[in-house]
């Protein structure tokens, strides 16, 4: 049961990043414009897409899980600090707290690992 729970947790954590990365590809110009309006160079958008989509897929499949979890955890903290600091806006406070909570989930995943249903575990069993 534990391994199914870890798999479910990984998939739930990954889903928001996979959808967000894909959404940025589909709405590239708008995403770039939003980043620039927040003082972040739009030239960084490919890196953001790679982090979200690539990191999300890595977490979902359990590939390089600890590294991906640390990377996405840091990504969440940076996104909170850059994009969600208007604390007079209740929605921004919620987004800020959501990013902190997700970062916390990634910290736990980075310590405990991906569980048995993962590429990482499969690779370890083979060696």
The DSSP code sequence of 64-98 is SHHHHHHHHHHHHHHHHHHH---TTSHHHHHHHHH
Average per-residue pLDDT for the chain: 97
Residues 24/31, Cβ–Cβ less than 8 Å: yes
* Mean pLDDT computed over 114-118: 97
pLDDT in tens, 26-77: 999 999 999 999 999 999 999 999 999 999 999 999 999 999 999 999 999 9
pLDDT for 46: 98
pLDDT for 127: 85
In three-state secondary structure terms, 38 is coil
């Amino acid at each position: 049961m534990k391994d199914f729970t870890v798999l479910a947790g990984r998939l739930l954590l990954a889903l928001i990043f996979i959808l967000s990365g894909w959404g940025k590809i589909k709405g590239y110009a708008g995403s770039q414009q939003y980043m620039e309006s927040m003082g972040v160079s739009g030239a960084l958008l490919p890196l953001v897409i790679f982090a979200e989509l690539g990191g999300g897929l890595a977490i979902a499949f359990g590939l390089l899980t600890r590294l991906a979890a640390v990377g996405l955890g840091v990504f969440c903290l940076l996104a909170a600090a850059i994009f969600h600091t208007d604390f007079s806006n209740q929605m921004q406070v919620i987004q800020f707290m959501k990013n902190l909570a997700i970062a916390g989930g990634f910290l736990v995943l980075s310590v405990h690992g991906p569980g048995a249903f993962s590429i990482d575990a499969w690779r370890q069993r083979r060696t």
